[in-house]
Structures are given as C-alpha cells and as structure tokens.
Amino acid sequence: MTIEFKHRGTIWRTDTPQEAVALRNELEKSDRVCIPMFDWMDENARYWTPDRFMDVIGGIDKLQHRFLAAILETPRIYSAELTKQLGLESEVALAGVISGLSKQLKQIGIESGQTFEIEVEWTGKKKTRTFILDDFFKSAGVKQNWPEAWADELKEGDFGGDLKTGHLRSLQNQPLWIGRRHDRFTPTQGVFVRRDLNRRSWV
C-alpha cells in the first residue's frame, strides 16, 4: 500500500506508514534548519539595494574603494599580500585603511561585517588574517557593473597623508583609527594631532 502525504506543497509517497512518519519527521527537522537560513538570505539580499550599494561607493575614499575591489578580485587574500597590492608600507597602514572604512560605513548606517569579513587564524604563535567580501554586497556590485565601471577612478594616485607611515586620511578629511592612536591629518597645517585612546588594536 502506498502512503501519500503533502508537505510544503510537495506530494511525498512511501510504501509503509512507518516510512511516512519517519520521512515527515525528517522533513520537519530540515524545515527548522533551512527555513530560517532561507529567510536570512532573503533579508540580506533585499538589504543591498542599488541605492544602498551606491551610498557605500559614494561615501568612501579612493584607497578604501581599492581595498574593497582588491578583496573582490582575490577572495581570502592575506593581509601581507593586500598590503603590498594597495602599495602600503606596512600592515599598520592597512589597519588604518580598514578602521577608516569601518567608520565611514558606520556614518551611513552600515556595519563593516555587512560589507567584508576578516578571518584570523593561528598557527602556533603566528597569526594570519584573510579578507572576504560579503556575498550579498558582491552581488549588489555585480548589478552595478562594479568595479569595472570605476576602473579609471581606482587607478593608483594621491590618497592624502603618508602611506609609508600609515598616516592616512579620507577624501573627506575624516580621522582614521590606527591601533590605539587617533591620528588626524590636517592638510592645511601639515601636522598630525594625536591622542591616546583605550581602544583595542587591530594589529
């Protein structure tokens, strides 16, 4: 005798009542795992509208933009390789770029984790960092032909500040966080203003 039942719009058939009960239990168990995941994916896909993506690209400076494009081009890129690719002198300078980007994103209501992730791995006493672009942000960028449409803007050039020492500024002259020190570059005065802060260092 064939047992037939319907689950979430699909007809399922088994040979015995026992198999039907077991299969239904497995389907319901799968629903408890998969449905929240699908809902989460739908929510994140809806979050990255064309306007919100353009708010990010329009609200960050050139070096921060190149940072995002670099981790798109090379998924799971190591911090040392990323530092070299961006033309920075050290990973301290890279930390400044990341901290500045995070601050710029927060100003438009976006957390850095919604745009990119940093994975930290330890091998003995050696720590390595890899960078990954968020899949939903990446998908939104593809729809805007990013980064290809910005190819000319992303060429290396003057970013302001001093790349070799890690003292950087955004095009909006916003202060950037570098470790435990708060450095503000003042182009008109040509000086850095510093003050110590009780802030966890990225480096």
| Chain-centre distance for alpha carbon 141 | 12
Report yes or no: 57 and 150 within 8 Å, Cβ to Cβ: yes
CATH class of 50-157: mainly alpha
Report yes or no: 115 and 137 within 8 Å, Cβ to Cβ: yes
Report yes or no: 86 and 94 within 8 Å, Cβ to Cβ: yes
> Between these two residues, 16 and 160, which has the higher pLDDT value?
16
- 39-61: pLDDT as tens digits: 666 777 788 999 999 999 999 99
- How high is the pLDDT of residue 173? 39
CA distance 129 to 127: 7
- 82-141: pLDDT as tens digits: 999 999 999 999 999 999 999 999 999 999 999 999 999 998 888 899 999 999 999 999
Domain boundary assignment for the chain: 3-47, 50-157
